[in-house]
Amino acid sequence: MFSYLVRRLLYAVPILLGVILLTFLLFRVVNTPEQAAIHAKGPKSTVAARAEWIREHGRDRPLTVQFAMHVKRMVTFDFEPSDQTKRSMGEIFLKGVGPSLCITLPGFIAGLFAALSLSLYQVFARNSAADRNLTILCVIMMSVPTVIYIIFGQAVLALELSWFPVSGFQWGGLGMLRFLLLPVGIMVIINLGYDARMFRAVFLEEIAQDYVRTALAKGLPVSRVLGRHVLKNGLIALITLTVGQLPKLIMGTLLIESFFGIPGIGNVMVQAIQTADEPVVLATAYLGALLYLAALILTDVLYAAADPRIRLS
Amino acid sequence: MTHLSFIAAASGDSSTSRLGAFFTHWLTQDALLVVALGGIATMLVRAARSERWQRAATRFRRDRTGIVALCVACLYIFIGALETFRVPVGGGDTRSLLDFAVAGIPDERSYSAPFGDHVITDTKPQPDPLKSDHHLLGTEALGKDVFVQTLKGCRTALIIGGFTSAIYIPLGALFGILAGYFRRWVDDIIQYVYGTLASIPEILLLISILFVLGPGLGSISIALGTTGWVGLCRLVRGETMRQSERQYVAAARALGQSHWNIITRHLLPNVMHLVLINFVLGFSGIVLTEAVLSYLGVGVPVGTASWGMMIDSGRGELSRDPVVWWNLTAAAVALFGLVLALNLLGDALRRAFDPKRG
Amino acid sequence: MFRSAGTTLSLLAAALLCGCDNNPHPAPLHQTRPDGSPWIVRYQSMRNDPRSFDPQYTYDQLSRKAIEGVYETLLEYQPMKTDPYELVPCILAEMPVKEDGGLSYVFRIQPDIRYHDDPCFPGGKGREVVAEDMQYVFQRICDPAVESPFEGPFEEYIEGIAETHAAAEKAKRLDYDTMRVSGVEVLDRYRFRLRMKKVYPQILYWFAFQPTAPVAREAVEFYDGQIHDGVRREDFHKFKAVGTGPYRIASYTPRSRLVLERVPGYRTTVFPSDGFPPEKTEWLKTLAGKPLPFIDEVQFIIQPENIPRFVLLRQGYLDGMSVDKDSFNAMVSPVRALSPEFTSRGMSLEKDFEICTFWGSFNMDDPVIGKNPKLRKAIAHAFDGARYSEIFYSGVPPVPTQLLPVGIFGYEKNRPAPFPYDVEKAKQLLAEAGYPGGRDANGNQLELTITDQVSGSEERQRAEFDQRSIEQLGIRVKVNGVTFAKMQDLEDKGDFQIMCGTGWGADYPDPENFFMLFYSKNVPPAGKNYARFRNEEYDRVFEQMAIMDNGPERMALVRRLQKILDDECPIFPSFTKAFYTAVQPWARRTHDNLMYEVEGGLKFLTTDAPMRERLRREWNRPLLWPAFVLGALGLAALLGFIRAVRRTKNQTA
């Protein structure tokens, strides 16, 4: 177990280096030193002041040296502050991670729950009209662009019906809940179609297994077999699948946080992307990759813990 | 100028402009269109010889949803082809077939509502100087007909989807088969590459590639293609591993067939259905992603009609008074129609190829 | 499992009910003032995060908006006077006194203007502002660590700035005790003399601009961002502000909210008592001479998207739309009258006129376009300014006819447009330029590249408009869509043919600030003459005009300069920015002086809080029946599910 963990961690190192190299190259090629200086010093700065900035930040040195400096910064978590707001990355993350989790975590869990219920129901009533209609409904839900969901939520639920505040965030209490309901709800809806379909496929595969047939033949009620065995065995596969989806999940939260004024990391990212704020984008890409790899390893470990047949060796 | 900006100049500006000039030439586009349609047709004809595909075709023919979805998708392709196929009209200008079809529709000064009898401008509601009630879905900010723009958006969506698929499908299928067949270090390298790509938050990767390549349909396709092959590669790799453990592969190898033969004769046909399903479903994902990219300001070049752009401009237009909703609605419905049709088609294909799991 | 679903549903229902309060704002800091009268809050919005609260470092509009109430300047604009603009003393006791024919000025600061109470001062009590603080301010501008963008411009005019900056560069840091700016001579506790390198009367405008706002050395040195006694102090260079204005920063959450709170004991200025516009005189007279500010707390909601801000405005949760220079399409009525939905709510329209002009800029170094004035003029005639204004600014701003915007000295009312929209004339000029029908002598189509800033969809529409304007002459036009930073880079390097949508917003209301853009000594890298326009006569006239006092003589020179621009056509004026914004009935504007930001000049603003309270309640009655319908549907689905489960159970049993 331990040696497996070490191996997995070691395996993550070259991947992380690859991530750093790729993002670094892409951004350094786009962002010429002059443009970076304009970003940092502002449009009214003089050319001399920009040249000074370029020199001070080592942007006139060979790429290899710059890359070495960059890797060192990344590995020691000593990120450059944002070009736009001068805030340090540490502060951006510490302040942003809470609000982001307030949206993603309930969204993720409620989404999982909703997708599970829907897919279990479909498996239950498989090949019936209800199953077919629900599948089509899922496809319909998948086919609507995210922005449309958000605009609909804000224009109808927040403005016309006055149910929710349209934008904003606060910490603590029931007050916080009312800010979260709409964005979390939209996040659930966005992913529901895709997830439910995927889960349904997994469960159908599971139900075709021998042990299920045996259990049913023994006379166990269907709901029991479904609820206990199929769900439990399917769940492991599902979690692996959903963790693999995490980098894609970020895309949805970007829009949601920006539209609903949630001061999370996604919101900062939208700003960073739109203003080509190089330090923020590079650091987010790196930290995103780091978190993703950690989540992958964690699921593998959980996988082994949940299923004694699997040995990590 | 330092070496860095030199790289940017070399990779970004000059080469894309020359490439761009080549790609925007009407003859190239017509030729590409013919080649693409022809290629798809030949592939389908060849595939139809295999037994598995024949069985699937029989099953598919009984699937009503699938047939309808296929028809809708074909309609979109037809409209897109109309806009792509360009003929010269003299004086170095070209026009698409769609332009001829909608030639009678004039431009207005600015916004006008669907069937509206006046243009929304500053001074006063202008009493119908240009007969704006010709516009089925109204006009947008620059006075262009929204219905025509929506139809033209088909081409953009199809070109992005098509180019991207043309990039990522061969990549994904090839790498997947290689990794699954040769295993060992080949597998290690390929796994490493896609592990790295998959670890970067997709949207950041897309955007940084787009920043490097500059705006353009080709750049968007390249960016989406570079990030998109990972999923297919994983799928194909798994299936190849399963297939190569089968008897027939071992037999072929024992008979001394070359790797190349085994891959093209045995493995490729057996993963083709996965590729097809992935192509159809992935296409819908690409069309949706274009909308997000437009939101982030790295969409298609200026002057190109695209649904993503129309939806994006709707963000501003909805907060006007009176509300300009037709632009957003038209694009959203068109996009929804295509994505829905493709998704349903993908499902139907899956059912056809794999009746147990569908 | 079903029970858990039930609890979830009821929890959701409870959440929904409490969610029905759609007010997005947290409770105000206080309910009443110390004297018992109601505490008045104003709600505004900002599009983006400010860059910093450091007045010597920030230059962007959002940061200015954030700290404008916190830091006061030596001079300020009389908010009611916009044509022409007028400077009045703020922290100063009187207007600065000119000496040596304009080569130096003596400033006298009012006694007993205090910094806000803050732990950085001994005893936590705000110190008095003294002349020495201004020496410190200019030292900070020279300090390489502050990275002030104003060092460059000041270097040119004020004695000693360049020297101090160079000395600090050499020593790697600025020693505030020894490296003094020689041009700022402290005369006594309240007076200092500013010595200039050359006559530059516009310098006074810079003293109504945040970079010269006095800051206390104690505050900068205290808030160093380091850890002291286990506590990390905030960083003055980033988001800590200790000023002299009517407000202080109560809290700031990036990408969410900025809250300003009134500072007790502010009495630097009072509400002005003259210059009222006729339609508001009655009302404003009642405010004249009253102590400022009128509002106790200002909440800025930071929201980049138009739709949520628009929804908030319609719900009455924003007092003003606070349109900023980047977003104009929101809530701007295209028909010059609000729809009945809004008028019935008592909303009205206010006109905002930005002090800026925009143009398309030709690169005079370009071999094709730079040597061919007729070609430039042809392109200028092809641009339909009226339609552009209609599409993007609802037809509110007039088509620009000159370099200067309204309100700046030298602006000519009723001046005919130098290049009126005329396609026939443009085609004729194009033929005369050697490109009949857009083709050169060999019959090849002329291809031009326009460079445009493109990131949002509206900017793309603008770029497309520019493209189609020129294309109607038969020229093929390629659009190079770039980011703002890239555009700046290209402008500096001269790597463009036609740059569209560039312009200039007044730093200060003086013609010199605009005409310097075509002075040959300002060709980059030295300055901002991006068109690379070089004309000896222009230079001569400009040098003369720049240092003159306003009067008929100066007017004549401004006209001469404009005439040269018309003849040579290095730019074609394309648009000005002006727009109508909807204003809530409880938040009528007291002024619309754009030298403050839109809805800036916080201390002059008012809000009728009781009216807002009443109307908000009226506008935000939640509609509940759809919730019941949805709930019923959900319940039906759940029952159906349970029945299905039961049925299968019976089947297997």
The predicted-structure confidence for B59-95, as pLDDT tens digits, reads as follows 888 888 889 999 999 999 888 888 887 777 766 667 7
- Lowest mean pLDDT segment, chosen from A117-126, C9-18, C95-104, C632-641: C9-18
> What does the pLDDT look like over B202-240, one tens digit per residue?
888 888 888 778 777 888 888 888 888 888 888 888 888
pLDDT band at C499 (very low <50, low <70, confident <90, very high): very high
Highest mean pLDDT among B13-17, C185-189, C198-202, C277-281: C185-189
Mean pLDDT for the stretch of residues B155-162: 86
How would DSSP label each residue in B94-123?
EEEHHHHHTTTPPP-SS-B-TT-SSB--SS
Paired sense of beta strands C498-505 and C356-362, if any: antiparallel
Q: Which residue has the tokens 């990355």?
A: A89
What CA–CA distance (Å, rounded) separates C522 from A56?
A: 26
Compare CB distances from B199 to A27, A28, A293 and report the shortest one's residue: A293
Nearest residue to C197 via CA among C218, C182, C175, C212: C182
Encode pLDDT of B298-353 as tens digits.
778 777 888 888 888 887 777 776 778 888 889 889 988 988 888 888 888 878 87
CB contact under 8 A, A285 and B204: yes
Q: Does B253 touch chain C (CB under 8 A)?
A: no
Span B154-159, mean pLDDT?
87
Give the separation between CA A16 and CA A10, rounded to whole angstroms.
10
Chain C residue numbers with beta carbons less than 8 Å from the beta carbon of A154 are: 307-308, 311
ipTM (interface pTM): 0.82
| Mean of pLDDT over chain B | 78
The two tokens of residue B108 are 């207005």
Residues contacting residue C535 through CB under 8 Å, at least 6 positions apart: C518, C520, C564, C568
Q: What is the mean pLDDT of residues B130-155?
A: 79
Return the partners of chain B (3 or more C-beta pairs < 8 Å).
Answer: A, C
pLDDT at B30 over 80: no
Instruction: Give helix then strand counts, H and E, for chain A.
Output: 14, 0
Mutate to test the interface with C, among B319, B320, B328 (most CBs of C within 10 A): B319
The lowest-confidence range among A17-26, B111-120, C78-87, C229-238 is: B111-120
One-letter amino acid of B13: D
Q: Hey, which residues 54-83 in chain C have their CB within 8 Å of chain B?
A: none
Q: Do C334 and B312 touch (CB under 8 A)?
A: no
A15 Rama sector, left if φ>0, alpha if ψ -120 to 50, beta otherwise? alpha
Quick one: pLDDT at residue C250? 94
Q: Which of A149-153, B38-42, B295-299, C331-335 comes out lowest in average pLDDT?
A: C331-335
Of the pLDDT bands very low, low, confident and very high (cuts 50, 70, 90), residue C424 is very high
d(CA A284, nearest CA chain B) in Å: 9
Is the pLDDT assigned to residue A201 strictly greater than 70?
Answer: yes
Residues 6+ apart with CB under 8 A from C530: C361, C491, C492, C494, C499, C502, C517, C524
Q: Per-residue pLDDT averaged across C160-189, rounded?
A: 93
Instruction: Tell me what pLDDT residue C612 has.
Output: 92
Cis peptide before C293 (omega within 30 of 0): yes
Q: What is the pLDDT of residue B104?
A: 72
**Rg value, chain A, Cα:** 24
Sign of the four-CA dihedral C271, C277, C280, C281: positive
**Residue of C304, C301, C311, C200 lying closest to C253 (CA atoms):** C301
Read off the pLDDT of residues C296-322 as tens digits, 9 standing for 90 and up. Answer: 999 999 988 878 888 888 888 988 765
- Whether residue B124 is predicted with pLDDT greater than 60 in this model: the reply is no
A42 contacts in chain C (CB < 8 Å): 59-60, 149
Note the pLDDT of residue C338: 67
Of B303, B313, B321, nearest to C333 by CB-CB distance is: B321
Q: Which helix (H) or strand (E) holds C447?
A: strand C447-453
Backbone dihedral angles phi then psi of residue C130, each to the nearest 5 degrees: -130, 170
Segment 296-355 of chain C within 8 Å of chain A by CB = 301-305, 307-309, 311-312, 314-315
* Burial environment of residue B206 by CB neighbours within 10 A (0 to 12, 13 to 18, 19 or more): buried
The mean per-residue pLDDT over the stretch A197-207 comes to: 80
User: What is the rounded distance in angstroms from the CA atom of residue C39 to the CA atom of residue C610?
Assistant: 11
Average pLDDT, integer, range C573-579: 83
Which pLDDT does position B45 carry in this prediction? 76
Indicate the residue of B196, B296, B356 with minimum beta-carbon distance to A273: B296
Give residue for tokens 């050169």.
C440
Contacts from C186-189 at CB under 8 Å and sequence distance 24+? C186/C131, C186/C132, C186/C134, C186/C135, C187/C106, C187/C131, C188/C131, C189/C130, C189/C131
Query: What is the per-residue pLDDT across C241-252, written as a single tens digit (0 to 9) for each?
Result: 999 999 999 999
> What is residue A245's three-state secondary structure?
coil
User: By the CB < 8 Å criterion, does B303 face chain C?
Assistant: yes
For the residues A190-199, what does the mean pLDDT come to? Answer: 85
Q: Is A145 exposed, middle or buried (0-12, 13-18, 19+ CB in 10 A)?
A: buried
Give the DSSP letter of residue C92. Answer: B
